[in-house]
Chain A
Amino acid sequence: EAQVTQNPRYLITVTGKKLTVTCSQNMNHEYMSWYRQDPGLGLRQIYYSMNVEVTDKGDVPEGYKVSRKEKRNFPLILESPSPNQTSLYFCASSLSQGSEIYEQYFGPGTRLTVT
């Protein structure tokens, strides 16, 4: 089954404790992306990756890091989480060919609470 998986689905942590949220897709998509969703603000893109070893900032990259060492995986790293990073996080992937980007497929979401 074609899918995007994220782990963990729920996480409660404390300020400053480094954490990683994993994301994996089995569709051989080039493009992968992380979003956060907050009430009244909608989904905002954190980072995206066009392919292995190619990443770029989205609209809200501060406080986050990513890496793309393999095509299928795109982990999101919070080196020193703060309470303002409490949010619902989604990973997504899509096919890209040349200058075309196609529709994204989303993972089930990770609800992160930082106390």
Chain B
Amino acid sequence: RKEVEQDPGPFNVPEGATVAFNCTYSNSASQSFFWYRQDCRKEPKLLMSVYSSGNEDGRFTAQLNRASQYISLLIRDSKLSDSATYLCVVNSGLTSGTYKYIFGTGTRLKVLA
């Protein structure tokens, strides 16, 4: 089983749609969680950090469910410019004795006009 798993997609949605991505992680000691966005062949860029209480930034909402070991990303009112690959990232921090970041393979989103 992969440490961080995402549905690769692609998710093809019309403009204005709401789309949700899930990501599951296997290490219960994981401490930090992030969503990154990556455009084709470019560097990943931070979209949101994910907090236990959940957080929202404009059209984007991230949730963390520690009991079920998954994080989610909700995008409302999709724009053409949201087309990208969304990467789920988990870090275990000091409690696991390692500071490795583990990336999911990404979920591809295409927003269609």
Q: Which of A44, A96, A101, A107 is close to B103, meaning CB atoms less than 8 Å apart?
A: A44
Give the residues from 68 to 113 in chain B that come closer than 8 angstroms, CB to CB, to chain A: 87, 89, 91, 93-95, 98-106
Nearest CB in chain B: distance from A103 CB, A? 5
Number of A-B contacts (CB under 8 A): 64
A35–B38 alpha-carbon span in the complex (Å)? 14
> If the complex has contacts A33-B101, A48-B100, A56-B99, are A103 and B44 also in contact, measured as CB distance less than 8 A?
no
Closest to B101 in A: A45
Question: A interface, by DSSP: helix, strand, loop or mixed?
Answer: strand
Asked if A41 is at the interface (CB within 8 A of a chain B CB), the reply is: yes
A81 to B99, CA, bound (A): 27
Partner of B87, one of A42, A98, A109: A42
Q: Are A99 and B94 CB-contacts (below 8 A) given A44-B103, A104-B101?
A: yes
Please tell me the number of chain A residues within 8 Å of chain B, measured between CB atoms: 29
Known pairs A42-B106, A59-B102, A103-B49; list 13 more (Cβ under 8 Å).
A41-B105, A42-B104, A42-B105, A45-B102, A90-B43, A90-B44, A99-B93, A101-B31, A101-B32, A102-B49, A103-B34, A106-B44, A109-B42
Chain B residues within CB distance 8 Å of chain A = 31-32, 34, 41-46, 49, 87, 89, 91, 93-95, 98-106
What are 18 A-B pairs at a CB distance below 8 A?
A41-B105, A44-B103, A45-B101, A50-B99, A56-B98, A99-B31, A99-B94, A99-B95, A100-B32, A100-B93, A101-B31, A101-B91, A102-B32, A103-B49, A105-B46, A106-B43, A106-B44, A109-B41
